[in-house]
Structure 1
Amino acid sequence: MENQEKIGETFDTFRWSIKDLSKLNTNKIYSQNFYFGGHPWRILVYLKGNNVDYLSIYLDAGDLPFGYTRFAKYKLVLINQINDKMTRIKETHHTFTAMESDWGFSSFIPLAEFYDHSKGFIVNDSCIIEAKISGNPKLEIKVDQAAIPVSVQVPAKPIEHDDDPLCKDMSAVSLDELVDFRGLGKIEKVFVPLLEEVCAKHQSVIECQKKRSRRFSEWAFTALGRVLHFLRTKKVRDMNEEACDQLQILWEELETFRFDLAWLEPHVQSALGMKNYMERSAKVKSAKENVAALEMEMKKLKAMVDAVEVDLEIARRELVKVEEGFEERDLDDELGYGR
């Protein structure tokens, strides 16, 4: 890591070069671990966006167990390799927990701009991302029982969360993307209209969270917002196996927050059933294409038969014409003479 100094503030910098971008067949990718303040960190990137048409970049605090926290002030940087003045830098701070083990920016830069090689963010099929963590705040790990939802018990051993998207998806927005939702907590702007629409129709959604802690309500409405946003933005054609798995994870997460979800479950189950529909639809489409191809072949063959029938009728008429007045003779007869 490089050490950079600013007036009154220092940042330790970790630089990550992601190579062979065009050959990567995954959306979600982590850097190797790097250490700051005695703790492991890593960068998380969604190369095709985290449910948005933007490059999504987060700082990940690793395998924090439930009840433990880690605070950091940091910057995430996308290097412009052609013009350093065009380098993108976003700064935030966050107290990392097991439920919010990564935090950063879902909408870091539009994917169209990122993948436009003339813009300078990708050179030689590689991009460069930096994490700059401030050395001024005191970093520590401490038990924070108040941050644990009432439905969660502190485990005897730390739980691995590296591959648990349920924990990952609860975070990952910048401070300027959050707004207060009915005094119940800070929620992503994109979710608020959806939540308002639902709460206007289903008062129980609000009522069941009023007695919860602010942190619990933030988690709860964020989880609800993610499911609503998924259902609102996805189309039937999008519901492949990966999308169904993602929705199943979001739904299972939402169920832990004790909402009355009877009104929403049919829509979710219908969406989850789209995988089977899409598979059946593909088979139907293939069968229809096969029938259409055979029908076309039959039409061609019928056209050929019709043409042959016309030629046959002409040939018959010609035969009648040339046979008129013609007497057949035995070709083996002798010609003879005097007969």
Structure 2
Amino acid sequence: MGNKKSKEVFEKFTWTITNFSLLDSKIYWKKFSLDCHTWKILIFPKGDEGNYLSIYLEYPGAALMPQGWQKFANFKFILVNQLDHTKNIINETGHTFNLGQDGFTSHISLGDRYGFIVNGVCIIEVHMQVDESGRKIDDDKVVESIENVSPEEMISTSSFGEVVDFRDIGKVEKDFVPLLEQACSRYPSLIDIKKRKSRRFSEWGFTALGRVLHFLNTKKVRDMDDDTCNHLQALWEELEAFGFDLAWLKPHVEYALGMKNRVEKVLEVKKLEESVNVLKKNVNTLKENVTTLEERTKASRTKMIDAEIKLEKTKRDLEKAKKGFEECDLDAEMGYGKS
């Protein structure tokens, strides 16, 4: 039987990053699809030394693949010189993604930023080519990959506390049970997973569901910053892999993920309101000062008018006094008794 030729699949992903110079040392990421798989490109704007842009290509689904699964990819990272494309920085390589190697990192020097960051904008391209073989893995194969992992080990990554039995499905964390009971009562189709999948798979699936429900039940609006949204996105993507009908939950997750922008708007409005209140106080203080100055000016004007009247009166008195006036030396001696 001859070897079946595999088809190669190519994808080009462009990420335009605005306000790049203002980014801090946190991780920023975007997703794209290739060969029916979702990939992530992550950047560390400050790199390891602060003078490097670190780019990380990751396949998050590798953790759910069966033992022995692997996928080889040729790819290149391109830091685009927006003023001269002949000066683009290109890092090209190949990498095998598997259970132990789900990502690859590349470092690009940012010593000379001319042309690479223009008006605060940085452009990164990822060109990626993979073998089409080993496409989407069936859930039953995913079961094989976790069959040798104990329930305690699987749920240790979120370890909220005590583990208990849930509806004869398997062990889940105690804190999740009330939320899972409520969800299963409203959406009985969730329980069907235990009819279709192994106990281990069901435990893992309901743990993933419990994590998302617990997140939505405990987080506050003010908590939804970049890191928290990224965490929820990761939990949601993990949950989707288990094949639940999540149409009822998706709007809640999308609402929570969109909360970051709402929080930013609220904070912006509050900041502007505070600025308005401060400016109002300043205006009122200035008005009071102006009123005080006006009153002082009015009083000074009155005094000035009185002084002018007195001046005119005194001038007239002076003119009268000068009539018939004969100049004399007030210090001269009278001369009495002198011959």
Alignment TM-score, normalising by the size of structure 1: 0.48
So what's the TM-score if we normalise by structure 2?
A: 0.48
Indicate the structure (1 or 2) with the bigger Cα radius of gyration.
Answer: 2
More helix by share: 2
